[in-house]
Structure 1
Amino acid sequence: MSRYFQFKEFNTNYRQESVAGLTTFLAMAYILFVNPSILSAAGMDQDAVFVATALASAVGCLIMGLWAKYPVALAPGMGINAFFAFTVVIGMGIPWQTALAGTFISGVIFFILTLTKIRETIINAIPDQLKLAVSAGIGLFIAFLGFQNAGIIVEADPGTTIVALGDLTAPTTLLALLGLVITIILMVRGFRGAIFYGMIATSIAGIIFKLIDLPTGVVAPIPDLSPTFGVMFSHIPDLFTPEMLVVIFTLLFVDFFDTAGTLMAVARQAGILVDGKLPRAGKALSADSIATMVGAIFGTSTTTSFVESSSGVAAGGRTGFTSVVTAGLFILALFFSPLLGVVTPQVTAPALIIVGVLMASSLSEIKWKEFENAIPAFLTIVTMPLAYSISTGIALGFIVYPLTMVVKGKYKEVHPIMYVLFVVFIAYLGWAV
């Protein structure tokens, strides 16, 4: 095992890698409870999604660790799960079973792309400014959901503003605010797993003040997966519609670039880049795409590489054994389903808001003084939360970007694929309206 993972070459050992795997798990364990909470809003069985989340994460981590040999953990991605539930299912009225089928197909396409040079073509076609804008926009959208779950932002009375400040004295809102304050303190103090610990503290406070029912137990048999397992296969024929094609593209786009960015960032931190390039890039990206397909079969939205893996790297993780340890902990977590009952919307709200903060950090890299970049980026970012649709934000940005570049006289800098997408998204918005 030591030789397989090249412990000597990376100056590491079993203890260091195990601690790193535990650290990564604690940093991202919140997804076990947040993901079922979000997808249950789309009508999915919460217990089944919990199991699907744990299994998809474990499979993804194992493939990444054993095959690609990277200290990178995977789990159903934040942002993509919100797109799945609130834009696709609730907003567009698409059954969650069909949305899962779309997730599966996006994983298949992703896998095919990793095997060909088309991968590099697509990466080069989408301008960095739009990639940054999409990340920041999803961050704002997630934070907006968090404020809503907390009761901080509510729907305004008819005839007034669209949204308004909620009742900050309401007990459940005070609980969410307490959780947010605790999580912020932990984040600022640099605690690894701050989001997870913040959720634990909020749940305990809710139980103490009788705002959350005490769980019936801590350990229990693994819940039934059948409500979501494999249901998407019979809905694959439903994918051949204009709206589902856009959904599949959006799932693919977000996952593809989120994964590439995360892998580069974590590999750079771990010092395992070779001449500025990612060794075994094909295997790493394939691990992500396979995890997405497996996750869709189990019954969860897109599974992707987590930037929280950087916490494990900071703790000394350098090889794939770190991810193998994280996988084992996700499997162990399957027996703690009773804790789902204490994870109310007020408990997950601080996590959503903080994840929004982390994703919005890409705002600093946008070239705001170059209006040909700033305008499409801004429209992408602001449209996502205001239109309550990630795909609409992406569509608007991809339409405006070629226009601003042409007006600026930089039409040659726009990849031909972007002009094709320009036409596709105009058709999509025209059809959606």
Structure 2
Amino acid sequence: MNFFKLKEKQTSIKQEMIAGATSFFALSYIIVVNPLILADAGIPAELSVFSTIIISAIGSIMMGLWGKAPIVLVPGMGINAFFTYTIVDSLGLSWQQALAVIFVSGVIFTGIAYTSISKLLADAIPESLKHGITAGIGLFLVVIGLENGGILVDGGDSSFIALGDLSQPLVLLAVIGILLSGVLYLRNVPGSFFIGIVVITIISLITRVHEVSASSFSLSNLSEFPALIGDFDFSTLFSVPFLLAVFSLTMILIFEAIGLFEGMLEDKTRFKSAFKVSGIMTMVSALFGTSPTVAAAESASGIKAGGKTGLTAVTAGVLFLLSLLFTPLLSYIPNAALAPVIVITGAIMMENLKHIPFDDFSEWFPAFLILVMIPLTSSIVDGLAFGFVAYPIFKLAKGEFFKVKKAMHVVSFLFLLTMIAITII
């Protein structure tokens, strides 16, 4: 395993594989959820489930072998909704034309990834905003985890969010899981998150509080999957809806990737290669008939479980491939077992707040906007937009406008255009 430089990174095969398994289980929901969202766009769910699994496997393995980063690539939540409910429903494109939009966006993304523009964009982002991005993604994960565990629920007419019913067995198990995983992590127990998943799953099965639903997934549909590959439609290539969709999607993909990589990569030297992989996989996603893959925020759970090299991503990718055979077994794992991992991972990411200079309002307030708007809008890109647009404005108010890098001004302007474009859509 010299390829992954495990000794240099002070890790081991066992540690990397546990981290990869932790990331996989934290993301296993995508196998079911992504096809259901894409089905609203017209893509057959019984076929897109194969796209989801295969593209997640390919993307993660490529990220591990080429990008050499412990980041898992899967069809992004939010991006799949943008594909279905904006590009298809709002702009009126067919799902085949929407796949063409993804492919063109992937070409642009990859072109930027292979030039100095990607590094220029990453270097232009102020450190305070980078830390705000990490903390914002962390808070977003905390909210997702608490909702998945039933600890937080829709507040209805009284409030947008409320405390769940703690008397419910699965909700109580989620709370116990948070405490258990937190204690194991605090005690530096190897594989603490993975152990937490296994223990809570076993308890839920023994007590029979988790009902295992029958899976509708069948390998018999695999023979029909090739019909989905390369099913593009470029007939609307130069139409206004197509071009508007390409611009918006490209901006979302590029800056979400920058935000996620900056927020999760401990080894920043892997940024360039990871960014290239992400761009290429956008094109491959379109080829396989699914919404674009992105660096999953839940990858942070594997990183916090000890993942330091590409072997973590490769392990997750292999598990995605194996899930073709064992997907029905995933139904045995309740959300109560997965939610604690996501919550604690997000909480740990918020440690980056200590690096933000709170004695300078022009630095910490834009970072604060990112921190709160990512979870409140349930969109990483929307959260980034608020902070990035605000940053030069507050620097202007402080008389430090020209201290902001020119590339940052360009990025802020592009984010402003993206917000306008999405509003028009």
TM-score in same-fold range (> 0.5)? yes
Shift of 1:99: 7.4
Identify unmatched segments of 5+ residues in structure 1.
268-277
Q: How far did 1:402 drift?
A: 0.7
2:29 — aligned with what?
Answer: 34
Aligned with residue 304 of structure 1, among 270, 295, 300: 295
Q: Tell me, what secondary structure is at the counterpart of 2:76?
A: helix
Per the TM alignment, residue 123 of structure 1 is displaced from its structure 2 partner at its CA by 1.8
Q: In 1, Cα distance between the equivalents of 2:345 and 2:221?
A: 28
Amino acid at match of 2:364: A
Deviation at 1:371, TM superposition (A): 0.8
How big is each residue's C-alpha offset from its partner over 1:320-362, in whole Å with a ceiling of 9 and x where there is no partner?
7786666545534432211222244444322332332243232
Partner of 1:338: 328
The within-5 A match list for 1:29-428 is: 29-36=24-31, 38-39=33-34, 42-43=37-38, 51-52=50-51, 54-64=53-63, 66-67=65-66, 70=68, 72-76=69-73, 81-84=76-79, 104-158=103-157, 160-214=158-212, 224=222, 226=225, 229-230=228-229, 233-234=232-233, 237=237, 240=242, 242=244, 245-259=247-261, 262-263=264-265, 265-266=266-267, 278=269, 283-298=273-288, 299=290, 301-304=292-295, 306=299, 308=302, 327-428=317-418
In structure 1, how many angstroms separate the alpha carbons of the residues matched to 2:127 and 2:369? 15
Aligned to 1:271: none
Contact kept in structure 2, 1:260 and 1:285, CA below 8 Å: no
Identical pairs, percent:
27
Judged with a 3 Å threshold, the aligned counterparts in structure 2 of structure 1 residues 216 and 182 are, in CA distance, closer, same or farther, namely farther
**1:22 match:** 17
Q: Is residue 33–residue 343 contact of structure 1 (8 Å, CA) maintained in 2? A: no
Separation in structure 2 between the aligned mates of residue 213 and residue 153 of structure 1, nearest angstrom = 21
Between Structure 1 and Structure 2, how many residues are aligned?
404
Q: TM-score, normalised by structure 2?
A: 0.76
Q: CA deviation at 1:405?
A: 0.8
The alignment's TM-score, normalised by the length of structure 1, stands at 0.75
Cα pair distance change 1:154/1:89, threshold 3 Å = farther
Cα distance, 1:228 vs structure 2 = 10
1:192-247 C-alpha deviation (Å, 9 max, x unpaired)? 44333333333322222323234779x98587483995477348959735466334
Q: Is the 8 A contact 1:222 1:334 kept in 2?
A: no
Task: Structure 2: state its 5+ residue gaps.
Answer: none
Q: Any idea what SS the aligned residue of 1:168 has? A: coil
Cα gap change, 1:82/1:363 in structure 2, threshold over 3 Å: closer, same or farther?
A: farther
Task: Give me the CA root mean square deviation.
Answer: 4.2
Shift of 1:406: 1.0
Name the SS of the counterpart of 2:166 in structure 1.
coil
| Range with greater deviation from structure 2 (107-116 or 281-290) | 281-290
Q: What's the offset of the Cα at 1:375?
A: 0.9
- What per-residue deviation string (whole Å, max 9, x for no partner) do you get for residues 32-89 of structure 1? 5133355356355887666545533443454455556x3x344226xx8343356775
Judged with a 3 Å threshold, the aligned counterparts in structure 2 of structure 1 residues 17 and 355 are, in CA distance, closer, same or farther, namely: closer
Give the letter for the 2:167 counterpart.
T
Q: Describe the shift of the 1:112–1:157 C-alpha distance in structure 2 as closer, same or farther (beyond 3 A).
A: closer
Q: Which moved more, 1:371-380 or 1:165-174?
A: 165-174
How far does residue 144 in structure 1 lie from its aligned partner after superposition?
1.4
Q: CA deviation at 1:254?
A: 2.0
Q: 1:136 to 1:101 in 2, by over 3 A?
A: farther
